[in-house]
Amino acid sequence: MKIILTFILAVIVCFNPALSQIAVKGETIYTMSGDPIEKGIVLINKGKIEKVGRQSDVQIPEGYKILEGKVITPGLIDARTVVGLSGIYNYRHDQDQLEKSDAIQPELRAVDAYNKDEKLVDFLLSLGITTIHTGHGPGALASGQTMIAKTYSESYNDYVVDSLTMVAFTLGNTVRSNYSKPGTRSKAVAMLRSEFLKAQEYLKKQNSNDEKERPKRDLKLEILAKVLNGDVRALFTVNRAVDIMAALRLADEFGFKPVLDGVAEGYLLLDELKVRKLEIILHPTMVRTYGDTKNASLETPKTFYEAGILFSLQSGYESYVPKTRVVLFEAAMAHSYGLPLEEALASITINPAKLLGIDESVGSLEEGKFADIVVFDGNPFEYTSHVCKVIVKGKIVKDECF
């Protein structure tokens, strides 16, 4: 009987990814929690990181599957995308990132439209992106909500990390191109101010001691009230300097701290951004320079780094097939234009993990964190290198070079 039970346990360990035991060896390991480790090793047990250190200091227990590569990094994190709502085919039936019936719809939930089986999700996974902050895109004064998801999941019950992360707002010319109102920047800000004032009144009545004073549920005002009281963060897509300042005035007036997205002309406002210590999701390095992003610069990541402004990089919204950028390539371009290698890696690992509030579980290779790991056959930012293995929560989900 003991022999049979031992055999059954061995089978469970072999086939249950949650119980997998793996040793990942690399010539260089970027833990993102300290200095790189030369000739390092990461031990994985039951989906989490068991130990990280030099190969000379860490003994591989018997029975562990051994993987090897040149460079090991944490799973990459896309700080802002619409993948899962925006599909690969670029047809109406797979484009749910922007509802155009109304310019202000903060009540729209990303989780109701996210398709975990969308091919673009798997495409990002194959390039080492294991976590995405996705949802309703830029282009509306308030387009809807965002969420955090894993790019690999075994069922419809385990891909959501956070179903309500932020509410997406936009100021700029892109709004005017999608809606008949607003027609000008002043009108856009006035429309948002009006909705925030309504939300203030709604929140006041909701907290009344008199039950008769409490209003009926209003989904739009309910979510805006959560933004005002700090329960949900406001994500403002603003690229022109004038729009950045308009968003900051709104935040000051109504007492919330925004997350800035895009910030193409942020180099004109370095002192303002540094003093405020705002959380920033910088536009894709290779964003097309027209419209609101006309004055974007390939050197902005380097400029922000040298100014001491913390930021994360994103894939954003891509209007052309294949409908998504890849943060690995965006960070590589930022590195080629002067951003130090480790800072470029931080912009797609630990920085977005902290910004999204998930750094206790992902974003760096540390004991106790989920084993989200990428194995490269060379410098991650060299165009001849490949992603050869991807591990999500301790399971090997990609095992060939891409």
pLDDT of residue 9: 41
Helices 241-254, 185-206: inter-axial angle, 10-degree rounding: 20
Specify whether 155 is located in the same domain as 283. Answer: yes
* C-alpha to C-alpha distance for 59 and 39, rounded to whole angstroms: 13
Which range of residues forms the domain containing residue 272?
A: 76-355
Task: Check: CB of residue 336 under 8 Å from CB of residue 344.
Answer: no
Assigned domain for 362 exists: no
Which of 340, 267, 367 lies closest to 309 in space, CA to CA?
267
Do 188 and 68 fall into the same domain?
A: no
Residue 50 lies in a domain: yes
Q: Is residue 18 part of a domain?
A: yes
**Quick one: 165 and 44 in the same domain?**
no
360 inside domain: no
> Looking at residue 209, what is its pLDDT?
83
112 within a domain of the structure (yes/no)? yes
Instruction: Please report the pLDDT score of residue 402 as a whole number.
Output: 82
The full length of the chain comes to: 402
The CA distance from 207 to 227, in Å, is 16
Residues 6+ apart with CB under 8 A from 25: 39, 40, 41, 55, 66, 67, 68, 69
DSSP 306: H
pLDDT at 73: 98
Contact 325, 286 (CB under 8 A): yes
Instruction: Find the CATH number of the domain harbouring 248.
Output: 3.20.20.140
For residues 372 and 392, is the Cβ–Cβ distance under 8 A?
A: yes
Assess if residue 361 is contained within a domain.
no
Peptide bond before residue 301 is cis, with ω within 30 degrees of 0: no
> Which residues neighbour 246 within 8 Å (Cβ) at sequence distance 6 or greater?
171, 185, 189, 238
3-state secondary structure of 149: strand
**Domains of the chain: total:** 2
Please report whether residue 39 resides in a domain.
Answer: yes
Residues 48 and 7 in one domain: yes
Do 277 and 163 share a domain, yes or no? yes
pLDDT at 12: 44
CATH of the domain at 46: 2.30.40.10
Residues of the chain with pLDDT under 50: 1-15, 17-19
Structure tokens at 202: 């709604």
Task: Quote the pLDDT of residue 1.
Answer: 45
Same domain, 117 and 264: yes
The one-letter amino acid code at 280 reads I
Q: Tokens representing 397?
A: 């989900």
CA–CA distance, 343 with 348 (Å, rounded to integer): 9
In-domain check, residue 210: yes
Whether 79 and 314 have beta carbons less than 8 Å apart is answered as: yes
Helix, coil or strand: residue 363? coil
Same structural domain for residues 257 and 131? yes
Tell whether 91 and 65 lie within a shared domain: no
Which residues pair with residue 95 across a beta bridge? Answer: 86
3-state secondary structure of 252: helix
Express each pLDDT in 207-263 by its tens digit: 888 887 889 999 999 999 999 999 999 999 999 999 999 999 999 999 999 999 999
- Are residues 157 and 297 part of one domain? yes
Which residues face 234 on adjacent strands?
A: 167
Are 165 and 33 within one domain? no
Shared domain check, 98 and 42: no
CB–CB of 331/381 below 8 Å? yes
Q: Give the residues across from 260 on adjacent strands.
A: 236, 280
- The pTM score is 0.94
Q: Of 364, 354, 343, whose CA–CA distance to 76 is shortest?
A: 364
Give Cα 51 distance to the centre of its chain: 26
Please, is 255 exposed, middle or buried when counting C-beta atoms within 10 Å of its C-beta (0-12, 13-18, 19+)? exposed
**48 and 145 co-located in one domain:** no
